[in-house]
Amino acid sequence: MIFHINRATLKPTTTPEQVEAALAGWRTMGETIPSVKSYVVGRDYGGDYAYSCVFVLEDLAGLFEYLTHPATYATDAIGLELVERLDIFDVSDDNDPDLGSKIEELHRRRNDDNPTIVDLLSGVPAFRGAGLES
């Protein structure tokens, strides 16, 4: 299993309506992307982030489907411009020693296939995550 996690803090200028639109986008992803086995979207407690989401995916193929699904791209278009700080990472119980590299490659492929996403991610003041050169 792969747990794909997004933790975000939004810009202070973000309106309550924009917050709800971004959270609704995450929920839509969980409800419509076939490879998502379960998900949670909500407030982030115990850290420096305001909101988080976790998507449970069975394998690498499911992760790539999630990363490249139209619902993901639509949510990126809504939310990435609102984000001040974003941390994206994956947790897995798979013992494959190359899994980290494989996940990184999927993120890189996604970004290569959709340069608009790279531009949006590059515009986030504080971003940590797979697929972008440091």
**Which residues constitute the domain of residue 6?**
2-129
Burial label, 8 (beta-carbon count in 10 A; 0-12, 13-18, 19+): buried
> Side chain identity at 14, as an amino acid letter?
T
The reported pLDDT for the residue numbered 82 is 97
* pLDDT greater than 90 at residue 131: no
Is there a domain that residue 134 lies in? no
pLDDT tens-place string over residues 35-81: 999 999 999 999 899 999 999 999 999 999 999 999 999 999 999 99
Residue 15: give its domain's CATH number: 3.30.70.100
Is there a domain that residue 17 lies in? yes
pLDDT tens-place string over residues 75-118: 999 999 999 999 999 999 999 999 999 999 999 999 999 999 99
The reported pLDDT for the residue numbered 134 is 46
Give the global pTM.
0.93
Is there a domain that residue 107 lies in? yes
Enclosing H/E stretch for 3 = strand 2-10
How many folded domains does the chain comprise?
Answer: 1
